[in-house]
Amino acid sequence: MATNFDKLAEQLRNWGRWGAEDQRGTLNHITPEALKRGAASVKQGKLFACGLNYDDKGPQQNAGRFNPIRSATAIDSPLGPPGSRAAYSDDIVHMFLQAATQWDAFAHVHYDGVMYNGFKVCDHLHPGNGASRCGIEHLARPGITSRGVLLDIARMKGVDILPRDYAITPDDMNAACEKYGVTIESGDILLVRT
């Protein structure tokens, strides 16, 4: 008998919605119209970094994982023939991929041996070669650009950071949209500050 999770997944999944070979999922909502709407929404032209720093204050707190460790491998090292004034510096970063800002491909998490759109893990995930279906390259090309909508749930709740065990509800999202006067539309990229 199917669990509630199985029933919900069957009801809400988008498999086949954009064809049997689709590997972009709901990113297909980012249409040319959504891109134009996003470009038209620019008021000040400011850039905002959304990335995490590569340092020991990162998100890795699980047993067996660690935050990035950065080491210099060369500092002002000579480059070229003797007497050359050219030099270089370089470093190396050791890290688990979840220790930084990142996108997960559909191949990253699967259930009951099946990935997004019904692709079977046994047919499409290979040690050494990675994923032949649902890899991150399908999200990276042609890129992800659209209108971003920020819902600052922490600020709305009057705190700097939400407690770790706080579950953001649909009511929270709706209240934030109302408070900040925003409407989320198809193709928008929703950013939630916690």
Number of domains in the chain: 3
**Residue 65 DSSP class:** -
Residue 5 lies in a domain: no
Residue 8 lies in a domain: no
Are 79 and 112 members of one domain?
Answer: no
Are 159 and 191 members of one domain?
Answer: yes
> The domain containing residue 87 runs over which residues?
52-99
Are 82 and 107 members of one domain?
Answer: no
Are 95 and 105 members of one domain?
Answer: no
Are 75 and 156 members of one domain?
Answer: no
Q: What is the pLDDT of residues 23-34, one digit of tens each?
A: 999 999 999 999
Residue 2 lies in a domain: no
Are 105 and 28 members of one domain?
Answer: yes
Are 154 and 115 members of one domain?
Answer: no
Residue 70 lies in a domain: yes
Are 113 and 188 members of one domain?
Answer: no
Q: What is the pLDDT of residues 155-186, one digit of tens each?
A: 999 999 999 899 999 999 999 999 999 999 99
Residue 44 lies in a domain: no
Is pTM beyond 0.85 here?
no
Q: Quote the CA–CA distance of 118 and 120 in Å, as a whole number.
A: 6
Asked if the bond preceding 142 is cis, omega within 30° of 0, the reply is yes
| DSSP H or E stretch at residue 122 | helix 121-124
pLDDT of residue 2: 63
Are 188 and 161 members of one domain?
Answer: yes
Mean pLDDT rounded to a whole number for the chain: 90
